[in-house]
Amino acid sequence: MSNDPIVRFNEVLSRAEESGIELPNAAAFATTGKDSQPTVRMLLLKHVDKRGFVFYTNMRSRKARQLEENTRASACFWWSRLEQQVRVEGPVEAVTDEEANAYFAARPRGSQIAAWASNQSSELLSRDDLMAAVESVSVKYMDRPIPRPPHWSGYRLVPERIEFWVGKPDRLHERYLYTRERDGWKISLLAP
C-alpha cells in the first residue's frame, strides 16, 4: 500500500481498467453554489497526477456557475467489480489553456462540434434547435480543424482528502483516509 494517494489511486484505476469495467474513469462530481444546495453529476476523469484530478466541461454550465461561487468540490469513484470506492475533496482550479487545447484537439470531431453547439445546462426549446446548431457549426468548420470554444475547458480538483474504501466481508470494510499536510500526507484508518 503506497503512502502516496495518487500512486495508490492510479493502481486502483489500472486494476479497474484491466477488469473490463465500463467507463472506469467515471466519477460522481459534487458541487455547491452559494445557495448551499449540493448537486452531483457524472463526469469522466481525463487526467490525474500529483497536482490533482482533471475533468473537462462547459464553463457556462450549472456546475461551472456553482464553482464560480464556491470552488470546493468532491468526486466519488466506484468500481463494483473491485468493491472499491475512492472519494476526493478539495478546491478546484482551472487547467491551463494549453492543457485544454491539447485535450480538445484529441477529441472526436462530433464531440468538438457538440462543445460549440450545446450551451450546456441552459433550457432548450426543442431538440431541433440543438440539431440546427450542430448543423450550423458543422457547416462553419467544414474541412477545417475545430478550435476549442473559449467556454469549454477543464477543472483540476486539487485533493486535500482522499479516502480509499475497500469492501470486506460482514461490512467490516477498510477505509484509509489520506489528509494533505504541509509536508506530505497523513494516513488514518476510519471505522466502516
Ligand X SMILES: Cc1cc2nc3c(=O)[nH]c(=O)nc-3n(C[C@H](O)[C@H](O)[C@H](O)COP(=O)(O)O)c2cc1C
Task: Between 15 and 41, name the residue whose CB sits nearer to ligand X.
Answer: 41
Phi, psi values for residue 186, rounded to 5° = -95, 135
Question: Shortest distance, CB of residue 27 to ligand X, whole angstroms?
Answer: 9
* Strands, E assignment, the chain: 26-32, 38-49, 52-58, 72-79, 84-94, 152-157, 161-166, 174-181, 184-190
Which residue among 127, 144, 171, 182 is the active-site one? 171
Question: What angle, 0 to 180 degrees and rounded to 10, lies between the N-to-C axes of helices 127-140 and 109-117?
Answer: 120
Task: Between 10 and 25, name the residue whose CB sits nearer to ligand X.
Answer: 25
8 included as an active-site residue: no
Question: Shortest distance, CB of residue 42 to ligand X, whole angstroms?
Answer: 4
Task: Between 9 and 77, name the residue whose CB sits nearer to ligand X.
Answer: 77
Nearest one of 44, 42, 41 to 13, comparing CA atoms: 44
| HSE-CB of 73 using CA atoms within 13 angstroms | 32
**What is the rounded CA–CA span in Å between residue 192 and residue 172?**
6
Task: Between 63 and 148, name the residue whose CB sits nearer to ligand X.
Answer: 63
Question: Shortest distance, CB of residue 60 to ligand X, whole angstroms?
Answer: 9
Residues near ligand X, by CB under 6 A = 23, 26, 39, 41-44, 55-58, 61-63, 120-121
Question: Shortest distance, CB of residue 151 to ligand X, whole angstroms?
Answer: 11
Residues known to be catalytic:
171
